[in-house]
Amino acid sequence: MPKAIAIRHVAFEDLGSFAAVLERRGWAVSYREAAVDDLKAADIASADLLIVLGGPIGAYEEEIYPFIADELDAIGERLAAGRAVLGICLGAQMMARALGARVYPGGGKEIGWAPLLLSEAGRASCLAPLGDAPVLHWHGDTFDLPKGAVHLASTPRYRQQAFAWQRHGLALQCHIEVEPRQLERWYVGHACEIGATPDIGVAALRQEAARWAPALAPRAAACLEKWLDGLSQP
């Protein structure tokens, strides 16, 4: 049974719909809590897949959150060793930084539902099933494309939305794993951020999620399935 470990930064940003895909394919899935668990543990290095989830901190804030240094080391060592890493939002930023790229505050918050603009490589990648379906964006930081990475997607506001690192690394700045009911936890957990961001509100986010998330779920599952299939190819 292949093993997947997800590094979680806040309890409500979990694997979402991805958990069911992994379990259906026979993966054993477990979580490590970034702020308190040992990120140097041998099982993180040896797992068949490491998934680095989102959170409301910066990938450059290790002076405030010392665990970030260990997390970056764990990600970088796995990528260098050819071991699979999937990064979502903060996780994508962590991957970029572990690969030597700059991560920094962007020009404002990008929160809400909108399609990705897939690059030519993106249209040929595991992200192709997304098509023009809106996905959830929830970030204020951005990053430079790591040297040697393949750019997969952008939005009009932020160019860096997804990249591939060889065959075993996939970074998604956006959230395709979200489930409408579980997003209710986000609206509570991110209440201060929502309240401080003009032109968005819980009611509008809830309405958009109800409209777009059900159609996104099968597309997101197809993306993950396609990427996992690629990991197992010789």
Q: What is the mean pLDDT of residues 111-138?
A: 97
φ/ψ of 15, rounded to 5, equals -75, -15
C-alpha 103/C-alpha 95 separation (Å) is: 10
C-alpha 232/C-alpha 20 separation (Å) is: 19
- Structure-block tokens of residue 126: 């595991």
**In this predicted structure, what is the pLDDT of residue 233?**
75
What tens digit of pLDDT does each residue of 3-14 get? 999 999 999 999
What tens digit of pLDDT does each residue of 24-74 get? 999 999 999 999 999 999 999 999 999 999 999 999 999 999 999 999 999
- Output the pTM of the full model: 0.96
Domains in the chain: boundaries: 3-231
Residue type, 6: A
Class of domain 3-231: alpha beta
What tens digit of pLDDT does each residue of 137-154 get? 999 999 999 999 999 999
Q: What is the CA radius of gyration of the chain?
A: 16
Helices then strands (H, E): number in the chain? 8, 10
CA-to-CA dists, residue 105 to 69, 140, 198, angstroms: 19, 6, 17
What tens digit of pLDDT does each residue of 91-119 get? 999 999 999 999 999 989 999 999 999 99
C-alpha 149/C-alpha 96 separation (Å) is: 9
